């Protein structure tokens, strides 16, 4: 089982879209995919037409110290999606209270990792969508994952935000035996915008090893796919955004083989 967290301490950079697009492509290749929504906004949950305000069970249930994380609990949390190869553990808006509730509780950083240990034979890939704030949820996402995907908008301010994420990765790596590696995925790229071109050039110069095999262009098909609740590749395989994620996925597969 491969576990990839998608994270950036900035909202609206394409995290949820990256999780759904890559998950969809893996599902198209008949891989068994689990998506986990760790963002209290519940965008991933809403994407697949579940209401984060109404759900009674969610990833929140992993954070009840008295409850054992076993197959029985997880079976209750896992929901089907519009894609037969993709399951999801949804978020509820109650997740927003978690940061306050877990202050001072030991071991709460490994709840998702524990759950994935139980599920390791059930899925080939797990993609974790994380919130844009550094807290117990992001720590869980990073601790559970083997490789991190960081979508970065190709604009100057987003590059500044990236610094914060890199500091977080360094902090996590001081506590980990096996270093958390990461890939940067440039998103919302518009080559007609000079500032975007120079932001992309800077990313290539500074992170030649980490930059993904392709750049995700601005593509309105992502918005249409999310309105329909289907993965972008299930809606339109030929659209430039999906084609970019295909190349990115190929690059990620190559790096995990090497
Ligand atoms: N490459 C893109 N081109 C156009 N719109 C996009 C692209 N990527 C994401 N979007 C749209 O932008 C919004 C924010 O993207 P999202 O993936 O939800 O970001 P995040 O999860 O980082 O907050 C969503 O409405 C999404 O459909
Ligand atoms: Mg999101």
pLDDT higher than 90, residue 104: no
pLDDT attached to residue 146: 94
Minimum mean pLDDT range among 86-90, 150-154, 156-160, 203-207: 156-160
Mean pLDDT computed over 195-222: 96
Question: CA distances (Å), 248 to each of 49, 129, 241, in order?
Answer: 27, 17, 11
Q: For 215-243, what is each residue's pLDDT tens digit?
A: 999 999 999 999 999 999 999 999 999 99
Q: How confident is the model at residue 175 (pLDDT cuts 50, 70, 90)?
A: confident
- Cβ of 166 below 6 Å from ligand 1: no
**pLDDT at residue 103 above 90?**
no
Alpha helices (H) in the chain, listed in sequence order:
15-28, 43-47, 71-77, 98-101, 111-118, 136-144, 156-175, 194-206, 221-228, 232-235, 240-257
Instruction: Compute the distance from residue 188 Cα to the ligand 2 centre, in Å.
Output: 14
Position 85 scores a pLDDT of: 98
**% of the chain beyond a pLDDT of 70:** 100
The position carrying tokens 């590749």 is 233
Q: Is the pLDDT at 100 greater than 90, yes or no?
A: no
- The answer to whether the predicted template modeling score (pTM) of the entire model surpasses 0.95 is yes
Q: Span 14-35, mean pLDDT?
A: 98
Q: For residue 10, how far is its CA from the centre of ligand 1 (angstroms)?
A: 12
Which ligand neighbours the alpha carbon of 131 most closely? Answer: 2
User: Residue 5: in which H helix or E strand, if any?
Assistant: strand 2-6
Q: Is 16 in the pocket of ligand 1 (CB under 6 A)?
A: yes
Q: Whose CA is nearest to atom 9 of ligand 1?
A: 14
**Residue of 37, 40, 222, 228 to test ligand 1 pocket, by largest number of atoms within 8 Å of CB:** 222
> With bands split at pLDDT 50, 70 and 90, how would you rate the model's confidence at 160?
confident
pLDDT of 155: 92
CA of 16 to the centre of ligand 2 (A): 4
Identify the pLDDT of residue 83: 97
* 209 Cα: distance to centroid of ligand 1 (angstroms): 25
As for how many domains the chain has, the answer is 1
pLDDT of residue 77: 98
Q: Which atom of ligand 1 is nearest to the CA of 129?
A: 21
- Which range marks the domain in which residue 227 is found? 2-257
pLDDT at 19: 98
- Tell me the CA–centroid distance for residue 208 and ligand 1, in Å: 24
Residues near ion ligand 2 (CB < 5 Å) are 15-16, 43
pLDDT(105) > 80: no
CA angle 27, 76, 88 (to 5 degrees): 25
pLDDT tens string 70-92: 999 999 999 999 999 999 999 99
Atom of ligand 1 at shortest range from CA of 19: 17
Q: In what order do the strands lie in the sheet with 33-37?
A: 79-80, 86-89, 33-37, 125-129, 2-6, 147-153, 181-187
pLDDT in tens, 33-71: 999 999 999 999 999 999 999 999 999 999 998 899 999
The rounded mean pLDDT for the chain is 95
Indicate if the pLDDT at residue 177 is higher than 90. Answer: no
Which has more pLDDT, 99 or 14?
A: 14
Residue 225: give its domain's CATH number.
3.40.50.300
Q: Is the pLDDT of residue 21 over 90?
A: yes
- Could you tell me how many residues make up the chain? 258
């Amino acid at each position: 089982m491969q576990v990839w967290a998608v994270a950036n301490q900035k909202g609206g950079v394409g995290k949820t879209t990256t999780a759904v697009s890559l998950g969809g492509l893996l599902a198209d290749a008949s891989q068994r995919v689990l998506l986990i929504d760790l963002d209290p906004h519940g965008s991933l949950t809403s994407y697949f037409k579940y209401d984060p305000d109404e759900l009674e069970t969610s990833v929140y249930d992993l954070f009840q110290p008295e409850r054992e994380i076993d197959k029985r609990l997880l079976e209750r949390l896992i929901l089907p999606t519009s894609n037969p190869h993709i399951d999801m553990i949804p978020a509820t808006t109650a997740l927003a209270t978690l940061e306050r509730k877990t202050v001072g509780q030991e071991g709460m950083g490994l709840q998702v990792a524990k759950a994935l240990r139980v599920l390791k034979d059930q899925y080939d890939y797990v993609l974790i969508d994380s919130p844009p704030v550094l807290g117990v949820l992001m720590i869980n996402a990073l601790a559970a994952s083997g490789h991190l995907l960081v979508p970065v908008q190709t604009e100057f301010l987003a590059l500044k935000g990236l610094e914060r994420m890199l500091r977080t990765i360094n902090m996590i790596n001081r506590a980990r035996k096996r270093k958390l590696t990461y890939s940067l995925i440039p998103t919302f790229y518009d080559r007609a915008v000079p500032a975007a071109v120079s932001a992309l050039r800077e990313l290539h110069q500074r992170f030649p090893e980490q930059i993904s095999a392709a750049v995700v262009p601005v593509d309105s098909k992502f918005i249409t796919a999310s309105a329909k609740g289907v993965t972008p590749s299930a809606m339109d395989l030929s659209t430039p955004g999906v084609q970019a994620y295909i190349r990115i996925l190929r690059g990620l597969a190559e790096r995990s083989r090497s």
